[in-house]
Structures are given as structure tokens and as C-alpha cells.
A and B are shown apart, each in its own frame.
Chain A
């Protein structure tokens, strides 16, 4: 449906390095990456606005080399929506159709259908300058879909919205995904977007695709240290193997040790991550008796309460962060300075390959 093969480009400080990606018809892919990862540039290359140094793009099996943006069937919605401020909402939505030589008599009817679909009929004769962020986004989507593109590219569509409007707009896109079979590639830096919308999530770091998978895989099981850091995994640690056998190794980190679920030769340098929500904080009398458990003697340095979770920062042989769901009966543990044990299963330790 849409296929990128070994796409490379250098534009200013951005570098895209041999990006390969294929999307099926109707698939919704969220491309995650930090600001400055070249995500917008990638979308502009797919749309034909910029030219890649190398690589191929094909859409519906057709090679896009030398095909100008107006003939690609790709619609692009920028972060700021880029509405035409000198045209009414209706004329914005009609723009693409009149450029594509749709029968002028049919345009008003088609525009009305789209305005109704996106719930913006009342805005018909307004100018973009008077619309809220959420309204502008709906207009931008209606305008983009008016040309019946085979691919819709969305550049950080929620970045400039307040949380309430953001939720509404996510719902608009969910509806769009469920009712139309348009292929959507959205760039974002927010995990919520990926969880809410993506059939598949891709991480772009330093101009390279570093991991592809379900959103849960990316956030729960990042494959590399870079991805783990990007998705905000806590407790990323490095150490060397001091003993191993029967599917496990013991890693020396700082002045402590951690049991990990894989065999490595002694002396190997390994980087691991332990999700904060896999670490439980227990008082000395509650220590479980399980040889596959890591049990680390710590002292609570700081406690941060959120609405749903509580975060413990722990001092000890290995500095750790634990996150637990809040419950009301654990008040006695949470004072800073208290001696506690951090407990986590060896199988919860993620082992990273080198980036």
C-alpha cells in the first residue's frame, strides 16, 4: 500500500538513515520520536515536498520518484493545521476538490457532507482565525479527506491542544480510523496517542527506526537502552556479569547485584532496565522467600504521590525507583528515611541489546 525503502536524507541538522517501512491499506501507524528526530521531515518526504537523498517510496505499488505532491494522493495535516486564513471554513474544505477539477456543481454538496461528518456545519462561513484549536483540527482533517487521499499524514495533531480538546480530537481520529479505510501515519511524541490510536507503533531515534511493534511492546518491552530512555523507563542500569548458569546471570551493579533471566559469559557488560511498576517496596518482615526474586536493602529518600500512583525513590547499593498503585492502607511505609526492601522478579528485568 505504502512502502518506504532505505530512505535517507540530510536536511539541516536532521538526518534520516535508511528508513524502511511498509503500511497496509487502512492501517494506523504512530511514529514516535523526540523533537528533532526528523519526523516532520519524513512526512514531507513522503508527501513529495522534500526530496530524499536516497531510497524509494511507492504508494499503491507506484514508484513516487519525481511525482510532485499534487499527484501523490497523500494529504498532510501539520501541527498548526495550516488553514488558509483568507478563506472561510467551507472554502478551505472545498479547496482540494476545486484544484482536482471536481465538478463545481457537486462541490457544495460534498463540502456539506464532510462538514456534517466532522460536526462543524455551524462553522461553515467562519474564518479560521476565529476558531478554537479543536475546531481548526476538524477543519484541517475535513479539508485533507475531501480529496480522498490514499494516505493521510498527521504531524503532531494534538501538540497545541489543551487536555480536554485533546481527548475530543483523539475520539475524532478514532472514529475516522473505524469508519474510513484511509491509511494513516501519525507522528507524535506522546504515548497516549499511540495507545489510543495505533495499530502499530514505530520509534524513530537519531534518524533511525529503532523499534517496531504494538504500543504495549514498545512501552513495556523496549529492545534497546535508547528506546527505554525515550519511553521513560526508570532504573536503567549497567553492570558486569559475575556468575551465570541455568538460564540466569548475576550482574554486579554499583555495590549490589541483580539476577537477570539469561546466560551471559562472565565479565560481559550488560545494560538492563527494570520498570518502576515491577518493583515493590516492602518492610523487613514482609520479605518473600523466593530465590528468583531480587531483594535489595534500601532506604526511602523521597516519596511523590500522584493521583493514581505513588513513586518511591530509594537509596541503597543500587539506586532504584519504584512506582505502585496507591492504596490507603500503606501509609506506614511511605515516610522518607525508613528502611525497606525493594523486591522484583528476575524475569521482570529487561535486557537491552546495544544500540
Chain B
């Protein structure tokens, strides 16, 4: 009866389903290759999971990722705003600079970070003089993470801000808000979804970084370093257990993100 309201299925889209299915299957298969053997030997998995080294490493990774995102929120949000609103011809150039870490091989990024933040480096030296060391230190991990995840955060937030009509800020100003207050009370709250999703993307990128981190700080070991270390010294089974633990942890974090961001979306359009 209501069949005319339904879109007729089109068999010609079969090739799309096939291509899409292959890609999804590849990701699922890769996850299963790690997950199935681990789930079949829960005793080993548990013993690895409770190792102090593993727990420390996951804590360091998540914490450094969190600090990196915090830095990005404070420094990257203003940058994203300026890029979204700016009309200057320098904008394109600045955007290219911000996106540079996306294009660089991670070892190149790592080398840049190392040279900049090593104790004799142009930034490492003044920080060293006030007692902050980046080499083989938590601060070094954070620096590398900030560097590689900047484009993920800034691009997401910039796009979100660009979707908030500038006219809303104009109206806010005619109602008595200074430019700063207008941004603070109108633009940023309306971009909250992009800010949160940018933060999660950046965090995900940050905790996954290996090459850039390892060049400035092999220790304390982030999870990526630990997995590589165990892979080269202890063997496949050990590294796979850690990989599985990370897989579950990341899955949980992104599920939470989905729930949080779903709550933010479209809420204001309802009565």
C-alpha cells in the first residue's frame, strides 16, 4: 500500500555494496585476528593485562593524549576560529602549515620534534633551564602528540565554526556583547559538537603515535612503543595481548564519544 513511498532497491548498486563490504571486512578481519586467539586464552591475556609495565604504559599513553588535547583546546581553538573567520590571503598559507603534520612521514615529524625539543634545541634549551626536560620524558611524549594531532583538531573545529553564521556574532554585538563575549557565548557553544569530535579525533591520533614519540622519548614507553618493544624482544603473543587490550580500550572510548556527540547533535531543533 505504501510501496510508492519506498525507494525501490536498485541491483546496480551491488558493486558499491561489494566494494564497501570488502573494506569493512578487512578491518573486522584484522581485529578478529588479534581478538580471537586472545579470547581463547584468557589466562595469558589477564596476566599481561595486570603487568605493571603494561598498566603504566597505558596510563602514560592516555594521560599524555589527554594533556595534548588539553593544550590543543587552549591553543587550537583560537587558531581554528581565526582560520574560519579570517578573510586574509595568508589564511591558505596558515592552513597549509597547520596541515603539514598530515603529509609528513612520522619519522620526519619525530626528527623535527627531537631537534626542536632536545636539551640543546631552540625550545629544549630554555625549557631545560627552567627544569623542564623533553628527552625521554612525559613532556616529550606530549610535545610529539600535540605536533601530530594538531591538524585533526584544528581542521574539525575550523569547519564547525565556519558553519556558525557570522551574522549571529554581529547580532550579539549589536545586543551589547564585545567580540570576545560574542565568540564565547554564541560561536563556541554552537560549535561544541565539532570541538568534542575534534578533541576525540586528536586524542585518538595522539595515543596511536609511535614514530614521532619514540624519537624523543623511548621511555616512558607509550603503548605503541611497548607493543613494538615486546614484538621485537618477547614475540608475537605478548605484543598481541597488549594490542588487544588497546583495541578494547579505544573501542570503549569511541563508543563513549559516539554517545556523547549524539547527545549534542540536533538537540536544539526539538521542542
Contacts and interface: CB of A to CB of B under 8 A. Distances in A.
B165 A82 contact: yes
B173 A49 contact: yes
B174 A76 contact: yes
Nearest to A76: B174
A239 B176 CA distance: 56
A49 B179 CA distance: 11
Interface stretch (A22-30, A125-133, A277-285, A288-296): A125-133
Interface string B140-180: 00000000000000000000000001011011111111110
A75 B175 contact: yes
Contacts of B168: 82, 84
A85 B190 CA distance: 8
Nearest to A50: B170
Contacts, number: 80
24 contacts: A47-B174, A48-B174, A49-B173, A68-B173, A68-B178, A68-B179, A69-B173, A70-B177, A74-B174, A75-B175, A76-B171, A78-B171, A82-B168, A82-B170, A84-B168, A85-B269, A86-B268, A95-B175, A96-B175, A99-B177, A100-B176, A127-B269, A127-B270, A130-B269
B181 interface: yes
A345 interface: no
Interface in A129-151: 129-130, 143-144, 146-147, 149
B67 interface: no
B176 A96 contact: yes
A44 to B, nearest CB: 7
A149 B171 CA distance: 13
A245 to B, nearest CB: 59
Interface size class of A (residues with CB under 8 A): 20 to 34
A321 B125 CA distance: 86
Contacts of B175: 70, 75, 95-96, 99-100, 143-144, 146-147
A139 to B, nearest CB: 12
A129 B270 contact: yes
B172 to A, nearest CB: 7
Contacts of B177: 70, 95, 99
A86 B170 contact: no
B189 interface: yes
Interface string B242-271: 000000000000000000000000001111
Interface in A99-157: 99-100, 126-130, 143-144, 146-147, 149
Contact of B173 (A70, A130, A143): A70
B194 to A, nearest CB: 13
Q: Which 5 A-B pairs have the closest CB atoms?
A: A129-B269, A96-B175, A99-B176, A69-B173, A100-B176
A200 interface: no
A27 to B, nearest CB: 20
Given A82-B167, A82-B168, A84-B186, A126 B174 contact: no
Contacts of A77: 171
Interface in A50-98: 68-70, 72, 74-78, 80, 82, 84-86, 95-96
Contacts of A146: 175
A129 B268 contact: yes
A163 B174 CA distance: 29
A96 B178 CA distance: 11
Contacts of A130: 269-271
Contact of B172 (A44, A99, A128): A99
Contacts of A68: 173, 178-179
